Amino acid sequence: MEILLLETCSSDDDYNGDCDIAAIPLTQDLLKCIRRMHRLARQVKRRLHDFRELAVVSFTATFLSYADATALFGEVNLPNGLPTLVTGKFPTLDDHRQSVDYPRLCMIEDDVWWEGVVRHTSVRIATLSVPINHRYFDARRSSHQG
């Protein structure tokens, strides 16, 4: 399985609820969803010039502490300012998931990112954005995945 790892940022400079890294399994369904959202966003943008963002509720990102991400993927594979892609068989991410409410997959023009709110707080967590045309979202990828 291919998993995209992204760094996160927090609306609170001093607290992020241990949501340091987001792990996103690049499943065939997710890649199709991102491409569909991109087409829809472009259509809406042509009709509504003040359109800014398209977002859907999505549980596709797992927010992890740095320690859990290191244990799962190895420190050498963690993102350092840029997205990284890890490939292999990994244990279920659910056992390490940090509690995030209102999880969303968001898109603006040609960028995609994931966000949520740390449970029982008003602190927003968001991944760094990734361009839709990035090789990680290549349409040919979905045909190689099961």
How far CA 81 is from CA of 27, 129, 137, in Å, comes to 23, 11, 18
* Model confidence pLDDT, tens digit, residues 52-95: 899 999 999 999 999 999 999 999 999 998 999 999 888 777 77
- pLDDT value for 146: 40
pLDDT at 145 > cutoff 50: no
Cα–Cα distance measured from residue 82 to residue 130, given in angstroms and rounded to the nearest whole number: 9
Bridge-based pairing of strands 111-118 and 100-108 is: antiparallel
Cα–Cα distance measured from residue 53 to residue 113, given in angstroms and rounded to the nearest whole number: 11
pTM for the whole thing? Answer: 0.88
- pLDDT value for 13: 95
pLDDT at 6 > cutoff 90: yes
Q: The tokens of 31 are what? A: 């890649």
- Measured over the CA atoms of residue 61, residue 3, residue 31 and residue 94, the dihedral's sign is negative
Percent of the chain at pLDDT exceeding 90: 68
For residue 70, the one-letter residue type is T
HEC profile for 9-54? EECECCECCCCCEEEEECCHHHHHHHHHHHHHHHHHHHHCCCCCCE
Lowest model confidence (mean pLDDT) among 80-84, 102-106, 111-115, 138-142 = 138-142
At 143, is the pLDDT very low, low, confident or very high (cuts 50, 70, 90)?
Answer: very low
- pLDDT value for 142: 46
Quote the mean pLDDT of the chain.
88
